[in-house]
Structure 1
Amino acid sequence: MSTGEEDGEPLSPMARVFQLPGNDCCIITVIGCKTKINADVIRSGLNQNVFKHPRFSSKLFQSRDGLSWIKTQVNIEDHIFVADKDQNEIAEDGELFVEDYVSRLTMIPLDKSRPLWDIHILNVKTSDADAVCVIRSHHSLGDGTSLMSLLAACTQTTSHRDKATIPALKRRKRVYKDKVSWFVRLILAIFSSVRLIWNTFVDLVLLLAIAVFLKDTKTPLKGDVGVESSPKKLCHRTVSLDDLRVIKEAMSMTINDVLLGVTQAALSRYLNNFPGKIRLTAGVFVNLRPDKGIQPLADMMAKNSKCRWGNYFSSISFPISICLEADPLVYLSKAKSAMDRRKHSLLPALAFSSTEFIFNTFGAKLGGTLLKRLVSNTTTFISNMIGPTDEISFHGHPIVYIAPSVYGHAHALTIHFLSYAEKMVISIAVDPNVIPSPHQLCDEIEDSLKAIKAALLERGLL
């Protein structure tokens, strides 16, 4: 592709959302490595590959018609930063050094005169890694699914020199048994359609109510006005993916249901001493692509691809039940019931289409205001992504964990789950002025998972 303003590609409506004040979001991914990171090797690898990706080799251009992407010459040196060695020498606590470094990054905007990404190399030993690589990219470049496909394309498994293995799961379709008569199938189809329309209508009314006036309770988890501009503190915790799988099988639910149930239990424990009834809403991200898993990068970049690169996600409003239950399995049942109800609704796709319609018809200002109010009136976002099933290596650096998060939106708490190499990585991002210790939340999630597994073992269900 030639360089020049005439080649500009307009930003999609969702990309424009993330360029607005109050919604200016960045994805930040902390990657732990088993070995010290050779910055020269990383530079060499990026020099060979970054120009192949249009978003990572383009910058923003403001014209009379709005923002667009234009190709530019990428100087890798402008995008790679190595932590000062003197700072490393005085750092007694590797975790604290990494957390403080990442927190400072959340207050430094990406340079919009260049492609909107950078990489920070921290050769600091922590409890679970010998070095840390921090990758920042503006959310307008693409969503987590897109970026995970790019990471997979740039890595190999440590067991052999193949590309990373990431499952591309098809969405399950309901199949009726042949023995069911056509009349029964017709009745069920009519009932299902009516329920779908009704659920969508109710969810849409609720979404509008949240955007206009319906606010969550002010708890020790909810941020104040301006929280999107505050520094964020990130931490992570790793748990066994097998533990989640056995709970999933025992309770006949999905991994996502289990994670929401565990989160519901953890937040109930955290808010145990908060008086009164609590309304707490989480936005749960939904991938709108036809396939649930992450697709090969070449397929996502192909023209007219159904699983295309970009921001193709929406969210549902998930009510977190804050109540100390004597039986921890109740949290799972509540989460499954709430999610089953919301799966039978067209709201995620409708909300995505409505965002595009509002931005194209009424302009970015109105659309941005509605979205910011929708976020600020709720308490948190929860995301669950599928990562590589095998341990991977980035240019010869074996990866121990991948902990993604996002900042720049009006929440004091964001929770991300990512499966990687038989582990589930829990990433917590908080405003430390609201939530002083995100590690406590990680502890509560880990303890809640243990309590649920213990309850199943006690009843002989595992």
Structure 2
Amino acid sequence: MESSTGIRWRRLGGGLSPIQTKKKCEVEKTNVEEEEEPLSPSARLFHEPNFNVHILGIMGGKARMSPQIIKEKLVHTLLKHPRFSSLLVVDEKTGDMKWVRTKVDINQHVIIPDLDSNYMESPDKFVEDYVYNLSKSSLDKSKPLWELHLLNVKTSDAEGVGVFRIHHSLGDGTSLISLLLACTRQVSDPDKLPTIPGQNKKMNGTTTNYSSSGRSKPGLISLKHYFVAVWLFIQLIWNTIKDVVMFGATALFLKDTETPIKARPGSEYSPRRVVYRIVSLDDMKLVKNAMNMASKFNFNHTINDVALGVTQAGLSRYLNRRYAELGKKDKGETEKRNNLPKNVRLRSTILINLRPSAGIQALSDMMEKDTEAKWGNWIGSVLLPFKIALRDDPLDYVREAKATIDRKKNSLEAVYTFSIAGLVLKFFGIKKSSDLSHRVISHTTMCFSNLIGPQEEIGFYGHPIAYIAPSSYGQPHGLVLNFESYVNKMTMVLSVDESVIPDPHQLLDDLQVSLNLIKDAALAI
């Protein structure tokens, strides 16, 4: 998924073959006026056998799901979106792929499985296994590429669970989650859409406070602004050059360290175990606010900094244990005495959609009033390094994370990687473009994203939501980690290849313990 700053089922050996068309697309005529639209290059990329990515949107409900109500509402909302009511067709002569509007049978997309009575013994494990089994196959391309599975199973966090499975070619992760949220309303006011906190859209510069004191002259302030702007521009150019060179090196030869969580070749075809843990968003806000108050340089820490810091701390704890098991000797878990190798290179590939998001209101209007909204995949890549090391001061994880994120914000890496991918596609074709993306991702270790969710409790067609857990599978990573905020909760979601990470719940424990240690350190400031 794509970071907010950025997802099924596939056979070993490649994705399902698209519907073949002869002459002019011989799609069955319906009462719906037939419309065609070619796939964007990024959407086409997600149909390559080695990059057949699906998005998962798991929603826990505070009440049992009513299939009939949900079906009726979907027909008048989600199906109004062209991607959710179009078939993928390919001309067998030219190989061109198109979206072709079709009549949708909602009963083929909303799936209510027969539940084995044995699920009562461990309902949480039942839902976990159900999603795991879904990840063994690809979506059926004889119908629009999405499904909603309704499981009226009472788990530890919900009375019922809905699992959206959507092919990544329909849109980027952030836009698809926004589209699903546009189908919800506030529980306290059913006429209102969810409120998503505003995000800083500036990706190529940091904000600095240049306030003057005393009798500073306006000309001096302007001069300061000028020199700071020049310096930030120089940093932007230098950071972009470094990042583009690193991207090229990664595509050619530069690989992450072969740690215990680095995926093996072919991992993209393996089923995924999806697990989650709900923690307190207020705890993360406490850390952010405490570090801002204690900052001597007026640094503005964010929830994203805290999430990345927790991730670095949790991964370091987990890897320290795994290396101890491999070496059959535990050297400790302090900054000076631990089991971690020196200079571990561990990076996350973040896919960023450069196309501005339409927003929930625009998507809602599109479904309800047949208006237009921006949509599509314009995907650029950002390689985000993680510092793997144990720290005696837990707040150092957040400080290091902030430094990394601030440097990445002051770079045009995503723009240039998108342009490079476009040039490769134009001159060498989709196969080489797919190989480029696959090499970059397989040479890194994981995928990371932090998505901002609604501030208030929402209902999905009248069903109050307890939690939201987005994830993905189909990429050549052994680990995908997504953060999703919702009201006063933060959900940490892992999608893992069990041959790489056999104990994902232990990794969740390490992430939660790391957050608690960072919070305790923040309280002591």
TM-score, with normalisation over the residues of structure 2? 0.82
More deviation, 259-268/212-221: 212-221
- Note closer, same or farther for the CA distance 1:304–1:90 as it changes in structure 2 (3 Å cut): closer
Question: What's 1:348 paired with?
Answer: 414
1:271 is paired with a residue whose SS is helix
Among residues 54, 57, 60, which one is paired with 1:26 in the alignment?
A: 54
Alpha-carbon separation, structure 1, partners of 2:417 and 2:360: 22
Among residues 242, 262, 282, which one is paired with 2:310 in the alignment?
A: 262
Q: How far does the alpha carbon of each residue in 1:348-378 deviate from its partner, in whole angstroms, 9 at most, with x for none?
A: 1221232233223321111100100101111
Output aligned runs, 1:10-49, within 5 Å. Answer: 10-49=38-77
C-alpha deviation, 1:300, in angstroms: 7.8
Output aligned runs, 1:102-117, within 5 Å. Answer: 102-117=131-146
Task: Answer yes or no: is the 8 Å Cα contact 1:384–1:416 preserved in 2.
Answer: yes
Segments of 5+ residues of structure 1 without an aligned counterpart are none
Task: Answer yes or no: is the 8 Å Cα contact 2:185–2:458 preserved in 1.
Answer: yes
C-alpha deviation, 1:206, in angstroms: 0.4
Q: How far does the alpha carbon of each residue in 1:284-319 deviate from its partner, in whole angstroms, 9 at most, with x for none?
A: 3445355797663157899886xx222245332122
> Do structure 1's residue 239 and structure 2's residue 279 form an aligned pair?
yes
Q: How far does the alpha carbon of each residue in 1:127-147 deviate from its partner, in whole angstroms, 9 at most, with x for none?
A: 011111110000010112211
Among residues 276, 290, 300, which one is paired with 2:341 in the alignment?
A: 276
> Do structure 1's residue 141 and structure 2's residue 207 form an aligned pair?
no
> Do structure 1's residue 96 and structure 2's residue 125 form an aligned pair?
yes
Alpha-carbon separation, structure 2, partners of 1:8 and 1:50: 19
Alpha-carbon separation, structure 2, partners of 1:4 and 1:30: 33
Among residues 149, 153, 166, which one is paired with 1:124 in the alignment?
A: 153
Segments of 5+ residues of structure 2 without an aligned counterpart are 1-29, 212-217, 293-300, 324-339
Q: How far does the alpha carbon of each residue in 1:396-451 deviate from its partner, in whole angstroms, 9 at most, with x for none?
A: 21110010001000001000011111211111110111111211111111110100
Q: How far does the alpha carbon of each residue in 1:155-182 deviate from its partner, in whole angstroms, 9 at most, with x for none?
A: 1111121222223435257476556444
Larger Rg: 2
Task: Answer yes or no: is the 8 Å Cα contact 1:37–1:121 preserved in 2.
Answer: yes
Among residues 472, 493, 498, which one is paired with 1:406 in the alignment?
A: 472
More deviation, 263-272/206-215: 206-215
Superposition CA RMSD, Å: 2.3
1:220 is paired with a residue whose SS is coil
Question: What's 2:85 paired with?
Answer: 57
Among residues 415, 434, 440, which one is paired with 2:500 in the alignment?
A: 434
- Note closer, same or farther for the CA distance 1:221–1:423 as it changes in structure 2 (3 Å cut): same
Task: Answer yes or no: is the 8 Å Cα contact 1:197–1:345 preserved in 2.
Answer: yes
Output aligned runs, 1:142-181, within 5 Å. Answer: 142-161=171-190, 162-171=192-201, 174=207, 180-181=220-221
C-alpha deviation, 1:455, in angstroms: 0.9
Alpha-carbon separation, structure 2, partners of 1:444 and 1:410: 24
Letter in 1 for 2:434: G
Once the two structures are aligned, what percentage of the paired residues are identical?
46
Q: How far does the alpha carbon of each residue in 1:38-81 deviate from its partner, in whole angstroms, 9 at most, with x for none?
A: 11111111222333110000011102261111101101111111
Output aligned runs, 1:368-387, within 5 Å. Answer: 368-387=434-453
Alpha-carbon separation, structure 2, partners of 1:364 and 1:4: 30
> Do structure 1's residue 422 and structure 2's residue 488 form an aligned pair?
yes
- Note closer, same or farther for the CA distance 1:291–1:229 as it changes in structure 2 (3 Å cut): closer
Alpha-carbon separation, structure 1, partners of 2:471 and 2:496: 10
Alpha-carbon separation, structure 2, partners of 1:8 and 1:385: 32
> Do structure 1's residue 73 and structure 2's residue 103 form an aligned pair?
yes
Task: Answer yes or no: is the 8 Å Cα contact 1:428–1:438 preserved in 2.
Answer: yes
2:51 is paired with a residue whose SS is coil
C-alpha deviation, 1:386, in angstroms: 1.0
More deviation, 256-265/316-325: 316-325
TM-score, with normalisation over the residues of structure 1? 0.93
Task: Answer yes or no: is the 8 Å Cα contact 2:59–2:161 preserved in 1.
Answer: yes
Task: Answer yes or no: is the 8 Å Cα contact 1:58–1:71 preserved in 2.
Answer: yes
Alpha-carbon separation, structure 1, partners of 2:252 and 2:467: 40
Question: What's 2:114 paired with?
Answer: 84
Letter in 2 for 1:421: V
